[in-house]
Copies of this chain bind each other. A is one copy, B any other.
Amino acid sequence: MPLLVAGSIGIDDVKTPAESRKGLLGGSASYAAVAASFFSPVRLVGVVGEDFPDKYRVMFREKGIDQEGLKTEKGKTFYWAGEYFQDLNQRRTLAVELNVFERFQPELPPAYQDTDYVLLGNLGPALQSRVVDQVKRPRFIMADTMDFYIGSARPDLMALLKRVDAVCMNDGEARQLTGENNLIKAGKMLLGHGPKFAVIKKGEHGSLLFSGDRFFSAPAYPLEEVFDPTGAGDTFAGALAGYLASVGRTDFDALRQAVIVGSAVASFNVEAFSLERLLTLKRVDIDARCRAFRDISRIDEA
């Protein structure tokens, strides 16, 4: 089944301890859409400026990503420049230019309005809600969010949480949103705000899935080198939601498998700058890595 992906699309300049690169494709929707495209047809909702390179549109098309919902506005595409420090867990934003993103109001083409599976990639929660307003009978909506919106748009975010089936954020953000340091309590508190499922991403420590009294702990893939962590969370969310759309299931067991699929694709994404690794990745590579996740966390019966 198709997955609708809404979020930011941008041009990134990224500096890591190893290398600097300019003019990279970035933004939450870019990563999420490409990651989801391994599993499902994707309908993309976002905005770019007139300067948006055609090569990225071609790439989206080759990945089977429908761009009818991608608006092109007068002006420049959203721009972000950032620098990662030695351990790659810390980063500093060097520049942000909202450009056409400043006036972005997501509008779904009529053909998108009946989409069953929806991923609200990182985006202001009021804009995420506007997407929810426009889908008619969604089966599953997942929202990603981040520290900036938790701090600056908390009421909008809390209103959004009541309208989604799943929410996804990293450990620091879950602590920030709930005010609770214990991640198990924080995960349950997220459920208390509305969603049926909550996913907490812990980077090198894997991720946690909560639903009612059920719980799943996913390992991280044992990476010795991270080249560029940009977009890892968006990739995780995109692959997770794309997998769910592909199996057409939203039960707990489907979610736990989707978390592994998301972890697997995200573990590839950090191996190269921007989306480069995802562009050479094959479905068989993902399947093999999912089996590796199974092997590294398998517990036999005593």
Taking beta carbons and an 8 Å cutoff, which residues of A are in contact with B? 86-87, 181-185, 188, 202, 204-206, 208, 215-220, 222-225, 253, 256-257, 260-261, 287, 290-291, 293-294, 296-302
Q: How far is the CA of A8 from the CA of B224 in the complex (A)?
A: 36
With A256-B298, A290-B299 known, 4 other A-B pairs at CB within 8 A are: A87-B181, A182-B225, A257-B299, A261-B302
Q: Would A204 and B183 count as touching, CB distance under 8 A?
A: yes
Say whether, besides A184-B222, A219-B217, A224-B184, A257 and B300 are in contact (CB < 8 Å): yes
**Shortest CB–CB separation between residue A27 and chain B, in angstroms?**
28
- Shortest Cβ distance from residue A200 to the other chain B in the assembled complex, whole angstroms: 11
Nearest CB of chain B from residue A219's CB, rounded to whole Å = 4
Give the distance in Å from the alpha carbon of A260 to the alpha carbon of B302 in the complex. 10
Take A287-B302, A302-B257, A302-B287 as given contacts and tell me if A224 and B87 are in contact as well, using a CB distance cutoff of 8 Å: no
The answer to whether B299 touches A260 (Cβ under 8 A) is yes
Check A296/B216 contact, CB under 8 A, given A184-B222, A184-B224, A224-B182: yes
Contacts of A220 in B (CB 8 A): 217
Contact B297 A217 (CB under 8 A): yes
On chain B, the residues within 8 Å of A302 by CB distance are 257, 261, 287, 290-291
14 A–B contacts from the bound complex (CB under 8 Å): A87-B181, A184-B222, A185-B224, A205-B206, A206-B217, A217-B222, A219-B297, A253-B300, A256-B300, A260-B299, A291-B302, A293-B299, A294-B301, A297-B299
Closest partner residue, chain B, to A203 (CB atom)? B205
- In Å, the complex CA distance between A225 and B216 comes to 18
Q: Contact check: which of B182, B287, B297 meets A216 at CB < 8 Å?
A: B297
CA distance A302 to B261 in the complex (A): 9
Chain B proximity of A302: nearest CB distance (Å):
5
